């Protein structure tokens, strides 16, 4: 069964859900940008004092904390995967400062 793409584009429920998803994606992007700004400040502070930037035990603790706070439907494995990417992105993006 094929559906006419124009019918999908005209479906009010689909359009509303897509708009809600996009609104959520904008909030997610804003939160990531805010995280990058905060971590950049932390990185500069630590570097000024000769403190290593990466703290693997803190990263592990943070993921565990978030897993405890997570109410789903995101799985613990999914959350750990996302934060693995977030942490790598953060290290890469803040290194240029």
Q: Which two tokens stand for residue 75?
A: 């799985």
Give the residue from 82, 96, 9, 85 showing the smallest Cα distance to 44.
96
Domains of the chain: 5-95 (1.20.59.10)
Question: By the 8 A CB rule, do 13 and 21 touch?
Answer: no
Give the confidence band of 96 by pLDDT, cuts at 50, 70, 90. low
Predicted confidence at residue 47, as pLDDT, reads 95
CA pair distance 79, 93, nearest whole angstrom: 20
Q: Which two tokens stand for residue 9?
A: 């584009």
The terminus-to-terminus CA distance of the chain in angstroms comes to: 53
Q: Which residue's structure tokens are 């803040």?
A: 94
Dump pLDDT digits (tens) for 42-65. 999 999 999 999 999 999 999 999
For residue 69, pLDDT beyond 80: yes
Average pLDDT, the chain: 93
Q: Which two tokens stand for residue 61?
A: 């603790």
Q: Count Cβ atoms below 10 Å from residue 41 Cβ, excluding itself.
A: 12
Q: Which is more confidently placed, 93 or 10? A: 93
CA pair distance 34, 40, nearest whole angstrom: 10
């Amino acid at each position: 069964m094929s559906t006419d793409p124009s019918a999908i584009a005209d479906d009010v429920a689909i359009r509303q859900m897509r708009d809600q998803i996009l609104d959520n994606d904008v909030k997610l992007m804003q939160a990531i940008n805010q995280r990058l700004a905060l971590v950049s400040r932390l990185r500069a502070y630590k570097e000024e004092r000769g403190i290593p930037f990466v703290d693997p035990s803190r990263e592990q603790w943070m993921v565990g904390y978030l897993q405890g706070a997570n109410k789903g439907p995101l799985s613990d494995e999914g959350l750990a995967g996302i934060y693995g990417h977030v942490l790598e992105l953060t290290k890469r993006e803040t290194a240029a400062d």
